[in-house]
Amino acid sequence: MGENRPVRVLIIDDSIVIRQLLKDILSRDSDIEVVGTASDPIDGYDKIVQLKPDVLTLDVEMPRMDGITFLEKLMRTHPMAVVMVSTLTRQGSEVTLKALEIGAVDFIAKPTESIFTGMSALSHEIVTKVKTAARARVRTRTAEPVRPVPLPASPGKRASCTALLIAIGASTGGPEAIRQVLQGLPAEVPPVVIVQHMPPVFTRSFAERLDRLSALRVKEAEDGDLLEPGHAYIAPGDYHLQVARDGSRYRARVVQTPPVNRHRPSVDVLFDSVAQASGASAVGVLLTGMGADGARGLKQMRDAGACTIAQDEETCVVFGMPREAIQMGGAEFVLPLPRIAHKVVELLDR
């Protein structure tokens, strides 16, 4: 895509109202050109070939062919940047997570009520996600599940990092990156706390999916949870997740204080709390994502003595948050995604 031309977008949605709302929102930005719309994937595929868009917005539920079936076919024959348009419901969240696994870059959760007001409130998010998708590295489905890395039989190479907590943050491209990291961790690891930028409903489905796919017990964090080894805790949508010391243990604090870096949950909020509560006894991991959320927090963790890891540019869907952390000096290690779980395990002292 040329640097100076607008991002070309094709909208596929069976609702004429949603098609028009998305077209109006996106067309107001001078850096975006809506090159066409389609009411179903069959018509949509012809327009992809004809119009050559940079980004596709794709509804999940449509006639003639559902969005997931179409996305699977598209990623095999014509891989491209896709932003899913989903409903803010349990079923919508489960289907969207499947789409992200197949290769969609991101998603927009349209409101279930007050569609005109709700979509207008999402204007900034919609525009940002479409622009980000245009610059993203498109990934197709990862082949096999990652196998857990066994814990070392002897202390790790860096005895000063006795990890009692593992903190992970991510945004765009994060659901699949987090899956790969968690699948690579054995069940005996210290507690894992995670912020993934996601709305309510989606975070619970995400936790349940990770629980099925990894050796860890994964749940959506609840205020007051005692953080247990072998467990991972996902920040619930629209709430910040913090860690607080409780004697020799840690508890989750789930709070609805104001957004940080436009996000709630925010990675910075989590990492700052880990730096304060755990100091050097932690590993911080910042994965793919747009913006800078988590960069300052990772630096705080490193300054407190924690081991810190940022995902490298080559394996990021969007190299935003990790790049900012690296530039700030917050990342001790910069690694490709497949090596991150190995490094975390190596840093654990038994």
CA–CA separation, 67 and 49 (whole Å) = 17
Tokens of 81: 């940047």
181 and 168 Cβ atoms separated by less than 8 Å: yes
Q: Which residues are catalytic?
A: 171, 197, 293
Nearest alpha-carbon partner for 52 in 27, 28, 30, 78: 78
What is the CB neighbour count within 10 angstroms for residue 31?
Answer: 13
Half-sphere exposure for 323 (CA within 13 Å, toward CB): 11
Half-sphere exposure for 194 (CA within 13 Å, toward CB): 30
239 and 270 Cβ atoms separated by less than 8 Å: no
Tokens of 261: 């870096």
Burial (CB count <10 Å: 0-12, 13-18, 19+), residue 137: middle
